[in-house]
Amino acid sequence: MPVLTPEQAANFLELSEQLAEILTSQPPCIGDGNIDGVVDELDQSDWQDFADLSLGQSSWYDINKDGATNVQDLVILSENEGAICEE
């Protein structure tokens, strides 16, 4: 990594802090793959699309992050169906 000037280092630190604040501002919403704030039938439809497109490999809807978009993810999604995720 290149050496940063003092100004670049200060800017990097400020931006890193802002990013951390943004990332922690939204609570986790397990199963809300389309990030619309609710776990619903659209997420199930999207899960199927991603499972088909990824041929079962990991995808956006690999909810348990086990390397496969499969029925285990659909079960998790179904268990969380109806969840409304608020900021």
pLDDT of amino acid 79: 96
β-strand partners of 38 = 84
pLDDT of amino acid 14: 97
Question: Taking the domains of the chain in order of start, what are their residue ranges?
Answer: 6-79
Interatomic CA distance for residues 3 and 35, integer angstroms: 37
Burial of 41 (0-12, 13-18, 19+ CB in 10 A): exposed
How many helices (DSSP H) and strands (DSSP E) are in the chain? 3, 0
pLDDT of amino acid 87: 60
Dump pLDDT digits (tens) for 5-62.
Answer: 999 999 999 999 999 998 888 778 999 999 899 999 999 999 999 999 999 899 999 9
Query: DSSP label at 26?
Result: S
Average pLDDT over residues 60-72: 96
Helix axes 71-79, 41-53, angle to 10 degrees: 170
| Tokens (6 digits) for 42 | 């659209």
